[in-house]
Amino acid sequence: MNPQTETSSDEFSGRLGLIFATIGAAIGTGNIWRFPRMVGANGGGSFLIPWLIFLFVWSIPLIIAEFALGKRSRTGTVGTFRIFAGRRFAWMGLWTAWISTAIGFYYAVVTGWCVNYFLTAIRGGLGQEVDTIEVWNNFLQSPEQVVFFQAVAVAITMAAIWRGAKAIEKANVTLMVSLFFLLFVALFLSFVMDVRDGSLDGFVYMFSIQPEYLMQPETWINGLSQSAWSCSAGMGMAITYSVYMRKDEDTTLNAATMCLANNSISIIAGLTVMMAVFAVVADPLSAVSGGSSAITFLVLPEVFAQAPGGPIIQLLMVSTFFLALSFAALTSMISTVELCVRNFVDHGFDRSQAVGFTGLTIFLFGLPSAMVWILIDESTGVAFPQFLEVQDHIWGYGLMFSGLFIAYSIWSYGWSRYKAWQDKNGVEGFDLREYIDHGVSSFRDDFINTGDNDWWIGRWWDVIMYLGFPLMFSVLMLSYFGDLLANVHDPWNPTNPHGISIILLFWGVTATLFVSLNKYVLVNRLVPVDRANPAPWPLYILSGDYEIEPRPLFRNVPEGADAPIHMLPGGDDPFVVQVGEQLPDSFVDQHGESRPHSRSTIEAELA
């Protein structure tokens, strides 16, 4: 499917498809293995308080913004920033897409782990007499096995998104309904385990508030980070899936439903793990407070192997858990790959080619995480993937900048509307009250409270996006780097895989590269001067025998939808068109001369 030849938009069949797709994107392995670890390490119910607070002051407001941005731009992340922030800031969309894709490189490996453990479980390979450390070490130190299951994860993901929105919708509905069922089965079995030991101590700990934890800044910072990552807020996922919204879809209700469903799944998964661990482990807090992979692949198989009811129930328990974990990982992989694919399709690439290229790239760039630096912890004898952990260390917090860029787009739009109001009314100078009334509230009034939403969003949203969000971003980043300075030996050594320098180096190089690509790749492209007999790429670039022409951007606007963009910083670009519309025949180059556009010339010849 090529946007140049398509005559109608690609969209979900209804709200249910959108909701399941976005919930599937938000729900991942972090809900099932990171959340219980955070609960165990931060005082049980005490952790839930900041976690829920930040759901409403970080995740939901940011997801509302993403839905509103994507619903109006009707493009992926690169196009959205090109339209909303202006042509010079398209690189911000590339950063957002890259962070998601870079995480996907190693997330495909993790998804393969989950699939392998499910198959191992149903074969009886995680029974009561099994040494879970030996199983884990043997698997992780077998590159051919890890790569095979990584390839399986990528192949399933590609199959799910190959045919566009309807296929994504069906895959997510199937996987999410199955996930809900499996988690409730696992929750029931864990509840039985906790009841059988006569105390329900896992359940009680999960919801018991210990005031001393609420006095610790670390509890609040962990609650904020868990909320930010768990809902995928700022990741660009909601921007991508809102491209497939129907024209009258409610952004606020969808955002709230997605985030609340995500947190509900976290609660269910947390209860499942906490009750099971507390029922059979002598020191449950040490067990659940360890590393995520430790609790998931080492502790939980041993715990579930002691479920009451004999071998059949034990097999059901461990198989159900790892199948649910596999489904959660796959739905996140689907959104990760689709985010990248959408950006290619927006810029005129055939969808099947974009899916194939993205899938192959994720697989190849994920190979180092699957095979390189598989080390043994001398103190525990447990294998761990050093390269994968370094990648997570580098790119995990890069996600925070994507959220900051989204906020910047909102600030930029507000300032532009304020200046437009001043020009219209002949007002000079700056007045804070006027800026709040005619600038700060502009995005909310124009793109959120549009009449399609059941819930009216008030000024509280403006306060969060203009003041609260930059404050929370700063706290997160300062706490992260402060923790590295305090707890990591020689943090400024660039060869230290857990240090600060390696993060700043990768971030700096990536940002510099993307900014430099903005003019020549993202909003424009280089074409040979001699179009009749062009030299092969990249020879005409190396020789300087090229000219710059605008790169077309195709918007996926449903029939009858009212999605004008002329008031936006990048909305006056004639080469930003709807799917099925004709591109301009010519453009004015940097010298002020009118030139024919190569894409339009090709279309005319085909016609």
pTM for the predicted model, two decimal places: 0.92
Summarised one tens digit per residue, pLDDT across range 112-164 is 999 999 999 999 999 888 899 999 999 999 999 999 999 999 999 999 999 89
Measured CA to CA, the distance from residue 324 to residue 186 in angstroms comes to: 9
Distances (CA, A) of 457 to 21, 64, 462: 24, 10, 9
Quickly state the pLDDT bin for 294 (edges 50, 70, 90).
low
- Mean pLDDT, residues 451-465: 89
Between strands 553-555 and 576-578, the pairing is parallel
Task: Tell me the two tokens of residue 93.
Answer: 């969309």
Reduce the DSSP state of residue 172 to 3 states and report it.
helix
Q: Which of 39-43, 191-195, 415-419, 603-607 has the lowest mean pLDDT?
A: 603-607
Q: Which of 383-387, 453-457, 473-477 has the lowest mean pLDDT?
A: 453-457
Summarised one tens digit per residue, pLDDT across range 241-274 is 999 988 888 889 889 999 999 999 999 999 998 9
Whether 7 shows a pLDDT value over 80: the answer reads no
DSSP H stretches of helix in 197-282: 201-207, 211-214, 217-230, 237-242, 251-280
Bond before 470 cis per omega within 30 degrees: no
Q: Which of 3-7, 103-107, 469-473 has the lowest mean pLDDT?
A: 3-7
pLDDT of residue 195: 86
b/e 33-61 (16+ beta carbons within 10 angstroms → b): bbbbbbbbbbbbbbbbbbbeebbebbbbb
- Mean pLDDT, residues 429-451: 92
- Mean pLDDT, residues 351-378: 95
Where are the chain's structural domains?
A: 45-402, 525-606
Quickly state the pLDDT bin for 606 (edges 50, 70, 90).
very low
pLDDT of residue 607: 37
Q: Which of 217-221, 236-240, 287-291, 598-602 has the lowest mean pLDDT?
A: 598-602
Helix (H) / strand (E) containing 285: helix 284-288
Quickly state the pLDDT bin for 605 (edges 50, 70, 90).
very low
pLDDT of residue 1: 54
Tell the residue number behind the tokens 């000024």, with chain if given. Answer: 459
pLDDT of residue 552: 95
β partners of residue 384: 375
Q: How many Å from the N-terminal Cα to the C-terminal Cα in the chain?
A: 18
Q: Quick one: what percent of the chain has pLDDT higher than 90?
A: 65
Quickly state the pLDDT bin for 15 (edges 50, 70, 90).
confident
pLDDT of residue 474: 93
pLDDT of residue 82: 96
Q: Which of 177-181, 335-339, 343-347, 558-562 has the lowest mean pLDDT?
A: 558-562
Whether 603 shows a pLDDT value over 60: the answer reads no
Q: What are the backbone dihedrals phi and psi of residue 524, each rounded to the nearest 5 degrees, phi first?
A: -135, 175
- Decide: residue 481, CB within 10 A, 0-12 exposed, 13-18 middle, 19+ buried: middle
String of DSSP letters for 400-421: HHHHHHHHHHHHHHHHHHHHHH
Measured CA to CA, the distance from residue 78 to residue 554 in angstroms comes to: 12
Task: Tell me the two tokens of residue 450.
Answer: 């549009």
Helix (H) / strand (E) containing 601: helix 598-606
DSSP H stretches of helix in 347-431: 351-371, 386-395, 398-425
Summarised one tens digit per residue, pLDDT across range 518-563 is 999 999 998 888 777 877 877 888 888 888 999 999 999 988 888 8
pLDDT of residue 255: 92
- Mean pLDDT, residues 17-38: 88
- Crossing angle, helix 90-122 and helix 398-425, to 10 degrees? 150
- Work out whether the CA dihedral 85, 462, 262, 242 comes out positive or negative: negative
Whether 332 shows a pLDDT value over 90: the answer reads yes
- Mean pLDDT, residues 192-217: 89
pLDDT of residue 54: 94
Residues in the chain: 607
Whether 178 shows a pLDDT value over 90: the answer reads yes
DSSP H stretches of helix in 74-216: 77-84, 90-122, 132-140, 143-161, 165-196, 201-207, 211-214
Q: Quick one: what percent of the chain has pLDDT higher than 70?
A: 96
Whether 479 shows a pLDDT value over 70: the answer reads yes
Give me the chain's average pLDDT, please.
90
